[in-house]
Structure 1
């Protein structure tokens, strides 16, 4: 097939491209300079010119707590505009199959874990990333509305848990938890620091999946699209404390210092673990354990990808 992959230069997109299945298709992945997804006229014109058979929408403005708190307007408007434009332009061009990638940030902050798909829009969102979450919810809903109006258009959404892996962002100003820890602990080892600061108590629990596993799930979804539910979580079904991730990285990096806590800093939701009953019924599971994933991500970091 001729497949449009948005966000083809981001972590998720690059892992999708690195997967062996990508070689079986003609992959179109325009850069943001070649196609501004925030401009509907440009997106519509691009669809008319290239006529893709299938769309994987993985583009987005992403970042950790610091970035979301600092730039809520951009996280809301950029993600909403990109998703809206891709979906409506695809529908206008007659593209009947589209796979949208959501986020576990879409779930209410106080929802009971594990988070089931039907819990979306049932409560208040986590304030530290509300703008991003609202955009992701609206785009997922738009997928549902388009299919409801015309069942020929199968626009479906995967809701991944937190991710990490090669091609991630390691700069603390933009990174998520695991790459931020890798950078912080690596720098501490290199400079001889005996202490590393942890935001909050470290007791908040998170589910982090290796991005290569999500890529494998995406390609399974492309191949078995008819059987794919309209909205489905993708995760491990188990979580760890933030402090557990610090210890895992320290183990891989070879850091023997101690961790100290800054209790004035936010640590987000107490827990964010997705329910994977639909995923298991559909017949897929992740295969990369934490040490394997951290090791591969750390090796990528050591190769000079430290921005």
Structure 2
């Protein structure tokens, strides 16, 4: 972003310890950005409007990467919908409003493919948002993300400045993901499940659903690359929101087979079809992002391998 993203720019990464935020923090550190601003929850509660406003007044960030929020897999979304919608709406309202008042030059907001209708033409193009009801198992989270996206667009419209950039990545994975088999997203949860089964010598692993739904997975470092492309582009030339995905999907069954191959689990897989599948397919139409010169560089198998390597180094108990 010529003139706005320089090595001495004041950059605030909200959620710097999470999956997406940590990928941005690693990039900025590696590339020598000198004024990276981070805060943990103990020092800044993003659901507290007063704390957030004071933080922006004091720090005056120029660029904000808004990667903080409550996320989880299908079980978490079904069990705690009030938490998902309340916490995400509060964080979004506080950060976006405070960023506007502080004169932030650019803010990246991460929407979700959960925002799209459950029954949607595939691949899902941005103009199909709000044409149908989102998947019921994740509707609270999806509605919160839809609201955050519309907040960004509304500020841009009312104040005539393209400062807020809502993007829609598909299922992101990588280092610092949540690998919990209950609360984590499907790919990271599968890594944990199959690794544990391998360590325990389990003959079989039971997974939810039929294995037939199809999902698109985006490695976290590739998401960083896409957002940097956007930050280096004239915002008035970008139709928002914009999808970010590699353009290929796999069935959950195929994903499970890839993970077992990487992890080295040789047992069997049973599918519990009494449990929900979620949306039948979520593949993004990312042609507009690719027309800007971006493409995903990490294959799914390579990304799973790199994620598993990180998991072994950081999440496993010593033997």
User: TM-score, normalised to structure 2's length?
Assistant: 0.93
- Cα separation, 2, equivalents of 1:50 and 1:225: 25
In structure 2, the partner of 1:15 is 23
Q: What is the 5 A alignment of 1:161-172?
A: 161-172=170-181
1:293 matched to 2:300: no
Whole-angstrom CA distance in 2 between matches of 1:240 and 1:97: 34
Give the superposition deviation at 1:22.
5.2
Structure-2 residue corresponding to 1:305: 315
Please, which runs of 5 or more residues in structure 1 have no aligned partner?
Answer: none
- Distance in 2 (alpha carbons) for counterparts of 1:216 and 1:189: 34
* TM-fit CA distance, 1:240: 0.3
Number of residue-to-residue matches in the alignment: 307
Runs of 4+ in structure 1 off by over 4 angstroms are: none
- Secondary structure, counterpart of 1:303 in structure 2: helix
Greater alpha carbon shift after TM alignment, 240-249 vs 214-223: 214-223
Give me the whole-angstrom Cα distance separating, in 2, the residues matched to 1:190 and 1:277.
Answer: 42
Stretch of structure 1 that moved more, 33-42 or 242-251: 33-42
Distance (whole Å) between structure 1 residues aligned to residue 18 and residue 31 of structure 2: 16
- Any conservation in 2 of the 1:39–1:85 contact (CA below 8 Å)? yes
- SS of corresponding position for 1:24: coil
Question: RMSD of the alignment, in Å?
Answer: 1.5
- 2:166 maps to 157
Distance 2:69 2:200 in 1: 34
* Kept in 2: contact 1:189–1:255 (CA 8 A): yes
Aligned with 1:2 (options 1, 6, 10)? 10
In the aligned structure 1, how far is the partner of 2:301 from the partner of 2:257?
A: 11
Q: Which has the larger displacement, 16-25 or 68-77?
A: 16-25
Q: CA deviation at 1:259?
A: 1.0
Q: What residue in structure 1 maps to residue 72 of structure 2?
A: 63
Shift in CA distance, 46/154, structure 1 to aligned 2, threshold 3 Å: same
Distance in 2 (alpha carbons) for counterparts of 1:96 and 1:162 = 27
Does the CA contact (< 8 Å) of 1:171 and 1:306 recur in 2? no
TM superposition shift of 1:306: 4.8
SS at match of 1:112: coil
The verdict on how the C-alpha distance between 1:162 and 1:220 changes in structure 2, with shifts beyond 3 A counting, is same
Q: Could you report, residue by residue, the CA deviation over 1:100-129 in whole angstroms, capped at 9, with x for unpaired residues?
A: 111111101011111111111111111111
CA shift, 1:261, in A, is 1.0
1:97-136 equivalent positions in 2, closer than 5 A: 97-136=106-145
The 3 A distance-change label for structure 1 pair 304 and 153 is closer
The counterpart of 1:96, out of the listed 102, 105, 117, is 105
Of residues 24, 28, 41, the one that matches 1:32 is 41
CA contact (8 A) 1:183 1:306 kept: no
CA distance in 2, matches of 1:60, 1:22: 26
1:19 match: secondary structure: helix
Distance 1:228 1:2 in 2: 23
* Pair 1:22–1:84, CA change in 2 (3 A): farther
Listed one character per residue, the Cα deviations across residues 72-114 of structure 1 (whole Å, up to 9, x for unaligned) are 0010010111011111111111223211111111101011111
Distance 1:98 1:11 in 2: 18
Whether the 8 Å contact between 2:81 and 2:140 is mirrored in structure 1 is yes
Structure 2 Cα separation of the partners of residues 143 and 25 of structure 1: 27
- State the TM-score, normalized to the length of structure 1: 0.96
List gaps (5 residues or longer) in structure 2.
1-8
Q: How does 1:1-307 map to 2 (within 5 A)?
A: 1-19=9-27, 23-224=32-233, 226=235, 227-306=237-316
Displacement of 1:228: 4.0
Deviation at 1:225, TM superposition (A): 5.2
